[in-house]
Amino acid sequence: MAINIDLHTVPLNGDEHLLVDTNIWQYIFGIQASQNDHGYSDLLGQLVTREIPLFINAQIISEYINLTTRLAFKIYKRANHVSRHFSYKRCYRPTPDFNTNYDLAIESVKSEILPLVEFTMANNKKVFESINEYTMYDFNDEIIINDAITNRLGILTHDKDYLDYPGEIKIYHL
């Protein structure tokens, strides 16, 4: 069973190596980043100051960029009062607003996130295990968990779904 580590009650000991999930990056640097980041901005500052190794993978970067542009799409639809038939791919992606938000997401990854992390490398065997012997109902979460396990990392996330993982992995959250 996943090991639930609430950082409000259990202090970091300094030996942790953490794969930082998409939602944490969104809370801190995303398009809707705000004061209500659940305390993750402060935590990130502490982790960086204490030189706790932080990691990311291509899956998380992809989710961050896609989520950023999907959130921008929702904002665009509200602001422009477009019909519900206004599609993301066919209608929104050709707009200057999409291009601006896509560029901002890429720049955020390059200038704000990547300087703080190291990359993990995907284990193709674990990817196939995720396909053939899945234990989660979210494939992206399955890939992220298997990457963390392969690289002996805990996961820093605000996503409670990770706690449903039946194997042993440390899930850190506020």
Using one digit for the tens of pLDDT, what is the confidence trace for 6-65?
Answer: 999 998 988 999 999 999 999 999 987 776 799 999 999 999 999 999 999 999 999 999
On the question of pLDDT at 128 being above 80, the answer is no
How far is 173 from 161, CA to CA, in rounded Å? 12
In the chain, the largest separation of any two C-alpha atoms, in whole Å, equals: 52
What pLDDT is attached to residue 153? 97
Q: What is the CATH number of the domain that holds 32?
A: 3.40.50.1010
Helices (H), 15-138: 22-29, 40-49, 58-80, 96-108, 124-132
pLDDT of 139 above 90: no
Mean pLDDT within 150-170: 95
pTM of the entire predicted model: 0.92
d(CA 47, CA 68): 24
Q: What is the pLDDT of residue 32?
A: 74
- Number of domains forming the structure of the chain: 1
Look at residue 124 in the predicted model and tell me its pLDDT: 76
Average pLDDT, whole number, for the chain? 93
Sign of CA pseudo-dihedral 103, 106, 107, 108 = positive
What average pLDDT does this structure show over 119-136?
Answer: 77
Q: Say which range, 27-36, 80-89, 147-156, has the weakest mean pLDDT.
A: 27-36
User: How many Cβ atoms sit within 10 Å of the Cβ of residue 42?
Assistant: 12
Q: Residue 86 has what pLDDT?
A: 96
**What range defines the domain where residue 100 resides?**
3-173
